[in-house]
Homo-oligomer: A and B are copies of this chain.
Amino acid sequence: MMVEITRNNFEEKYPEIEGRLRSAVFVAVDTEFTGLLSDPAFKPSLFDTGSERYGKLRRSTEHFLIMQVGITAFRFIEDKNKYKASKYTFYVFPRSFASIDNIFMCQSSSLEFLCQNHFDFNKFVYDGVPYLNQKEEAHLRKELSKGSLFHQLDRTVDLDDEKSIQLVCSRVAKWAASAVQGDTLDLNNLDICQGDIRLSYVMHKELRQRFPDIWSFPEGGLIRVKKISHMQRKALEENEEQHKTLEETVMHSLLGFSRLFKLLTELKKPIVGHNILLDLMIMYNQFHEQLPTRLNDFKEEIHRLFPVIYDTKFLSFQMRKILIKEDMWNSNILSHLYCFFKEGRGRYLVLYSPIIELEDGAEICNPKETASNVSEQSQDLNVKFHEAGWDSYCTGYCFIRMAHIFAHVTCGSLVFGRILTSREHLLGVSSKKNCVNVIRANISHMCLDGPDPPSDRPNWLHVQAKGFRTIDVSKVAELFARYGSVDVKPFTRFRALVAVGNHGSAKDIVRQFQKHKELRVSYYHPLWHSSVFQTFLGTGAVVSCGMCAYFLYRQFSNIQTPSARSVP
């Protein structure tokens, strides 16, 4: 059974979800969103530092929205060596209310991608749980305290809503005619207002205004109408004046998913995600506050909100380093990783790897027992990937498997041959906490609780077109691409800089292009290749100096090759 949370069951499910989160060892998350700017200006490049990448991501996501959040809480049952997973898929939608009316962007290809994964856009718009970021919350609270909210909303009530209000009022009038003080009438809020917070608010206000001898109470899913005395009414009005109980109820509903986000930040449980940086940033922007301009400010605040974060993509790269080749998976894509740990060798690498079960066990059955054809089974699973709840579950699944292996590596004989505790699992990966993967950049990962690590990419390459011809950057990129991933940027009219993904590729390129007839390739040296120095060489007697420089240069680069590793 898949638990989808919409505005129709959010309030009802909230206590259960809260309980599951409170008893969790860690919480895995995943999000699906409406798009990502793909301009060349925002494209990830091997030149990017942490700050640059953060800036690109911030600007390319700020107007897009998360439509679906997957949250899976994993609790540990020690005597059974078992993790129980409670998986929830939340649809969230920025409900308009009073002066709050969100405008957001969508990207065709992103929506089409979600179509391939059977995303339900109607559920997003019709049933998405509301939320407010802190700025919106503060703004609404201010409007609310001014008391002008009702007048504002009253003007936006349409014909259908007007009819609903009339209907309810005449029902109450009929009841009130024969009711005595203390009698109550319960109206089903969900039936009448169909989850429309605005309508529910106007309904309360209208009832209180029209009937001086009743009071309306928001009671969970009910509007409870009570016949009262003049004195009681006066007291209730004064109380309302002071405490704005009705307005608080409205705020509570409108905060919706933000309350859950806030709960997560209060619980301080470890948060686990796969390639989690983007999810973190976009959640921060949507449910907390606008992303700060500077990376360090973001790090500080995200660390305050979530002191312990794990990225399974980062962990998987770390694990590659300790596994022998036959025990390795093919790619770090979540679905491949999950299949490796679920069905492949990954599960049996180390003894006593815990059992992992979804709370409603029926969903995931043991492939060994039910299906003879493993690849068919994977195909079935494939269908569910990119459903946020499922992805968060798989992420948590891989996290446990990897933590179990890491625990054995770090603790060695201390843990060998016995069942581990969840504390030992977390201890096993604790040296990797707050390291999040960064794709195709100057750094391989970012540290959320401190400065970023030094780059371990090879030094940049410097490429010059021979004979003072204008350099063709895309041609260089094409020529070099066969040796591995590269990014090329123009340096001057005749020269370009190349960032190369790994040391092997860089070495290959330098070696292969040693005698190339059009290009001169070497490791980049900031001083030697500075434009002042080059201009000096260039403006003198071109040929002789050029030749002279060429030889000097060759020699220099030969010396430099084996040792130049640090990135300027």
| B96 engages A102 (CB within 8 Å) | no
- Flag if A108 contacts B101 (CB, 8 Å): yes
* B116 in contact with A109 (CB, 8 Å): no
With A120-B122, A125-B115, A159-B382 already in contact, the answer to whether A103 and B95 are too (CB < 8 A) is no
Q: Check if A93 is an interface residue, CB within 8 A of chain B.
A: yes
One digit per residue, 1 when the CB lies within 8 angstroms of any chain B CB and 0 when it does not, for chain A 27-45 equals: 0000000010110000000
Q: Which of B108, B116, B160, B382 contacts A116 (CB 8 A)?
A: B160
Within 8 A of B (CB), among A127-170: 158-160
Pick the most buried of A105, A106, A108, A120: most chain B CB atoms within 10 A of its CB. A108
Q: Contact mask A462-478 → B, CB, 8 Å, 1/0?
A: 00000000000000000
- Least Cβ distance of A388 to chain B in Å? 17
Whether A17 sits at the interface, judged by CB under 8 Å, is no
Q: Which residues of B contact A108 (CB under 8 A)?
A: 93-96, 101-104
Contact A109-B121, Cβ < 8 Å, known A38-B101, A103-B35, A126-B115: no
Of A103, A114, A120, most buried by chain B (CB within 10 Å of CB) is A103
* Chain B residues positioned under 8 Å from A106 (CB to CB): 103-106
Question: Is A16 in contact with chain B by the CB < 8 A criterion?
Answer: no
- In the assembled complex, the CB of A534 is this many whole angstroms from the nearest CB of chain B, namely 35
| Residue contact A96 to B121, C-beta cutoff 8 Å | no
Which residues does chain B contribute within 8 Å of A105, judged by CB atoms? 63, 103-106
CA distance A150 to B151 in the complex (A): 58
Chain B positions within 8 Å of A248 at CB level: none
Q: Which residues of B contact A114 (CB under 8 A)?
A: 125
Instruction: Place the interface of chain A in its size category.
Output: 20 to 34
A95 to B112: give the CA distance in the assembly, Å.
Answer: 8
Q: How far is the CA of A417 from the CA of B438 in the complex (A)?
A: 81
Q: Which of A53-110 contact B (CB under 8 A)?
A: 63, 93-96, 101-109
Residues of B within 8 A of A95 (CB): 108, 112
Check B96 against A112 for contact (C-beta < 8 Å): yes
Report chain B residues within 8 Å CB of A121.
121-122, 124-125
Task: Report the minimal beta-carbon distance from A68 to chain B, rounded to whole angstroms.
Answer: 14
Closest to A95 in B: B108
Instruction: Tell me which of B107, B116, B159 contacts A101 (CB under 8 A).
Output: B107
Q: Once the chains are docked, how many angstroms separate the CA of A551 from the CA of B375?
A: 95
Complex: A102 Cα to B37 Cα, angstroms: 10
A419 beta carbon closer than 8 Å to chain B: no
Q: How far is the CA of A382 from the CA of B161 in the complex (A)?
A: 13
Q: How far is the CB of A346 from chain B (nearest CB, A)?
A: 20
Residues of chain B within 8 A of A125, CB atoms compared: 111-112, 114-115, 121
A163 CB to nearest chain B CB (Å) = 9
Smallest CB separation, A128 vs chain B (Å): 10
- Binary per-residue interface labels of chain A (216-255) against chain B in the complex, 1 for a CB within 8 Å, 0 otherwise: 0000000000000000000000000000000000000000
Q: Are B116 and A158 in contact (CB under 8 A)?
A: yes
From B102, B107, B116, B158, contact of A103 by CB (8 A) = B107
User: Are B107 and A102 in contact (CB-based, < 8 A)?
Assistant: yes
Distance in angstroms between the alpha carbons of A38 and B101 in the assembled complex: 9
Chain B contacts for A120, CB-based, 8 A: 122
Residues of chain B lying within 8 A (CB to CB) of residue A159 = 382
Which residues of chain B come closer than 8 Å to A96, judged between CB atoms?
108-109, 112
A65 to chain B, nearest CB (A): 9
List B contacts of A107 (CB < 8 A).
Answer: 101-103
Instruction: Tell me the smallest distance from the CB of A477 to a CB of chain B, in Å.
Output: 15
In this complex, which of A93, A102, A122 has the most chain B Cβ atoms within 10 angstroms of its Cβ?
Answer: A122
Q: How far is the CB of A333 from chain B (nearest CB, A)?
A: 10
Kindly list chain B residues whose C-beta atoms are within 8 Å of the C-beta of A111.
125
Task: Give 5 pairs: A residue, B residue, CB < 8 Å, sorted on A.
Answer: A93-B108, A95-B112, A103-B106, A103-B107, A115-B125
> A111-B125, A120-B122 given. 20 additional CB < 8 A pairs?
A38-B101, A63-B105, A94-B108, A96-B108, A96-B112, A101-B109, A102-B107, A102-B108, A103-B105, A103-B106, A104-B106, A104-B108, A105-B105, A106-B106, A115-B125, A115-B126, A121-B121, A121-B122, A159-B382, A160-B382
